[in-house]
Structure 1
Amino acid sequence: MIKILIADDQQLVREALGALLSLQPDLELVGTCGRGDEVFPLVEQSSPDVVLLDIEMPAMNGIEVAAQLKERKVACRSLIVTTFGRPGYLSRALEAGACGFVVKDTPAAQLAETIRKVHAGLRVVDPALAAESFSVGSSPLTDRERQVLVAAQSGASVSAIAQNLHLSQGTVRNHLSSAITKLEASNRFDAARLARERGWL
């Protein structure tokens, strides 16, 4: 049996995925949770073989969880299963150590087969998303530019962003200007939107 754990902030999705996958004779659901930080104690308790991770979750997103699982050398493999099939998310997830990346509208039988392949040590990526990711390319943003844009999404002022990130206001303005130029955006809010749509935030 392949033991699976599902982490998704939507209860309905967790229950539906769990019910569908439990119909497979070789898959066993050993736990579910709705927050990224809840994955680690559950992994310790239930020792899953494959952890299914949504990207957008409270406390820690799925990409951060995948990175932590790899860093801690946990004996399980992670598979991103998300609504947000954005090219930038794919490259970031694979860099973080995820072993697969599929979208939630994947048919149940195909998802089950993906889990089997990931468990067997293969890396599985949604082919359409892989093609789109290749055409979009990698993020041109530096880590600091990305952090500044994440902070700018909420509409925070330059001074608030500077205080939050422990930077000078001039430095924040420079990072925003650089990000706007790289993304060919009209302003910082447009830059944040474009970066988010491409999965770079």
Structure 2
Amino acid sequence: MSRRPTGALPAQTPDGPGAAPSGDRILTLPNLISFVRLLGVPLFLYLLLVSHDDVAAVVVLAIGGTTDWVDGWVARRLHQVSRLGELLDPLADRLYILATLLAFTAREVVPWQFTAALLARELLLLGSLGVLRRHGYGPPPVHYVGKTATFLLLAAFPVLLGGHAASAVTATTASAIGWGLAWWGLVLYWAAGALYVVQAARLVRAVRAGTPGVVA
């Protein structure tokens, strides 16, 4: 029997009859929070790109970012963890990040190179998910490194947008803080992506060795 080393990502079991049970409830408070967060994405894009109301866009983005942890906390607190919630939470995070990056690139708030670096990481993760799916596995569990990276990025974006619309003195301070958060978020985002790829590779090797569900 293989033993998972300390600090490794949790092992998964393949989808199907032998999979670990997960709640299938849809109408729960955590899921409602996640749905509201998702609705904030098109609202943010409209405010930033159509009505050019940067102040309101900053407010929507800040609320969407600061409530990133709320749905998960409520789910654990109320014992309402569900499979749908496990999918909605990272989906909302990724949509906020991707929508913000594309809108910021269009408004020249961030350079296209920064956007390309984050999009490349998403493509890497999509490739890993495709490999896992072919071997009967679902998405890997969210790692704390990835959650930290998401928090840093979602905290950086409102600061960068606020600085973009502020006076010269305020803009310099906001830019320094925002880019500090953004670059740390980018580094951790890629670190989390590397962890997911390693986990996927271990699961695939375990399947090929005839010991599915065991991470070496």
| TM bracket (short chain) | under 0.3
Q: Which has the higher contact order (CA 8 A, sep 6+)?
A: 2
**TM-score with structure 2 setting the length:** 0.27
Q: Which has the higher strand share?
A: 1
Q: Which has the higher helix share?
A: 2
